[in-house]
Amino acid sequence: MTTSHRPEIAVIGGSGFYSFFSDDAESVVLDTPYGSTSGPITVGDVGGRSVAFLPRHGTAHEYSPHTLPYRANMWALRMLGVQRVFAPCAVGSLVVEYGPGTFVVPDQLVDRTSGRVQTYFDQGGVHVEFADPYCSELRGAALQDGVVDGGTMVVVEGPRFSTRAESQWYARQGWTLVNMTGHPEAVLARELELCYTPIALVTDLDAGIEAGQGVRAVDVFAEFARNIEPLKKLVRDAIGAAPSGPCSSCRIHDGADLPIELP
């Protein structure tokens, strides 16, 4: 690891969010026990704070949600000294009130993925508290003017979008957003005692919520591109509002005997 700064805050960019700094940002090369990260980590300055940026899907969207190296990504950020993570992401809306262009900071998660490795604790009897999956302090920092406070994000396996019947079922459960990458990212952050919150950008109404041809990737990317600058501004404002250091509620391993040493 070679960096002249130890960033305390990280941003994981979602679909269409592949860069955050100018070309003079410092690039960091890391080797983790879980392989390479999905893209290069760059370190730059945001309002006087050192911030790390990692493109979740790679710099050219090389990774689909089910093939992402989630464990390598989160481990590398902690290796760098990161304590807090903002995770912008594209989501479909399951309620007509949240149309394309809406920013939402959810407060709950439902995991509907399958086959993804979702823990660092492959040995030992470790059970992780996850009732409230997102850091309350970071959520508060992200709740800038006009941002919707709360909602349940259901995370599906992908890479396909939902059928109409599936999205209608999700909506009947009272869930409000659908996404493909929010899990296991959130629980891996919790295991590493990283404060974590998503910042969701609604790119579409999910297939069963309105009549039409259904969700198409090209339309999702186009809507994300239309909103990328407001999203980056929101992330910068959230970084400026974020407290320093980890919060006590995300220190879940105090007194526990872990089977591995965290970085």
Query: Domains (ranges, CATH) in the chain?
Result: 9-241 (3.40.50.1580)
Please tell me the predicted confidence (pLDDT) of residue 64: 95
Active site residue 237: no
Is 181 flagged in the annotation as binding? yes
Q: Is 204 annotated as a binding residue?
A: yes
The active-site residue out of 23, 24, 149, 206 is 206
User: Which of 20-24, 75-79, 153-157, 231-235 is predicted with the least confidence, judged by mean pLDDT?
Assistant: 20-24
The CB density around residue 58, as the number of other CB atoms within 10 Å, is 16
Distance between CA atoms of residues 186 and 195, nearest Å = 9
Q: Is 57 annotated as a binding residue?
A: yes
**What pLDDT is attached to residue 120?**
96
**DSSP 8-state class, residue 65:** G
What's the confidence (pLDDT) of residue 225? 86
Q: Which residues contact 125 (CB under 8 A, 6 or more apart)?
A: none
- DSSP result, 238-262: HHHHSPSS--GGG-TTTT---SS--
Instruction: Name the active-site residue from 111, 122, 204, 219.
Output: 204
Q: Report how far apart, in Å, the C-alpha atoms of 126 and of each of 115, 121, 189 are.
A: 20, 7, 15
Q: What is the pLDDT of residue 254?
A: 85
The Cβ-side half-sphere exposure at 83, using a 13 Å CA radius, reads 15
Q: Give the pair of three-digit tokens for residue 223.
A: 């809507």
pTM given for the model = 0.94
Q: Is 254 annotated as a binding residue?
A: no
Task: Report helix angle 217-226 to 228-241, nearest 10.
Answer: 60
To the question of whether residue 56 is assigned a binding role by annotation, the answer is yes
- For the stretch 170-224, pLDDT in tens is 999 999 999 999 999 999 999 999 999 999 999 988 887 776 667 788 888 888 8
Residue range 134-149, pLDDT digits in tens: 999 999 999 999 999 9
Closest to 83 (Cα-Cα) out of 44, 127, 137: 137
Q: How many CB atoms lie within 10 A of CB 211?
A: 8
206 in catalytic set: yes
Query: 37 labelled as ligand-binding?
Result: no
